[in-house]
Amino acid sequence: FIQQQQQTPVVVTPMKAILPLLLLLLAFTVSTSQAFVATTPSTCTTTSRPAPSLAANNNMDNDETSAPHPFCNLPGDPSMILTTNVDLGDKKMEIMKAVSKAITEHTGKPESYVAVSINDKADVIFGGSDAPTALACMYSIGAIALESNGAITKSVTDLLGDFGIDEKRIYINFFDMPRANVGWSRRTFAG
């Protein structure tokens, strides 16, 4: 008897499955003229390095210069995303603007950086009930603290109270974001 030798099937990986790995590898290996380094959530620097020379053996450590990246001086992103099962009707934009002003007032950040999104008429339950309720998440680079969080919660609760949402049926979660984790204008606030 001649036994047939079992062949191992050849697995062909689709290009779209390995493309992210190739892009990551390419990004890792490409030299750039500047490296951005976040040193703390509130400070960062740009380290300028000359491109490596093929003709000379440059010591890059001796050629570094540090200066703050312009994005490091920007106040960052206070943004709130609020979802409610209540129909806010034609008052929705008015509430969004009032929430934006409350965030500005209580964080000290300029309103030009504040973003507010409200999703009303959503399917939301709280405590197993679909009675009027609201959930919100606020993200900011700094300015997340007991006093400001409480003041923003009070302002938002007061605004939503006019729509029959009880103060005990509103959750607002606050997140202090590292500068490197907030993207804006084609880069992050860390540079």
Which amino acids are annotated catalytic? 78
CA distance 35 to 58: 17
Paired with 92 in beta bridges are none
Single-letter residue type at 20:
P
Distance in angstroms (rounded) separating the CA atoms of residues 79 and 100:
8
Relative to beta strand 34-40, strand 43-48 is: antiparallel
Which amino acid is present at 35?
A
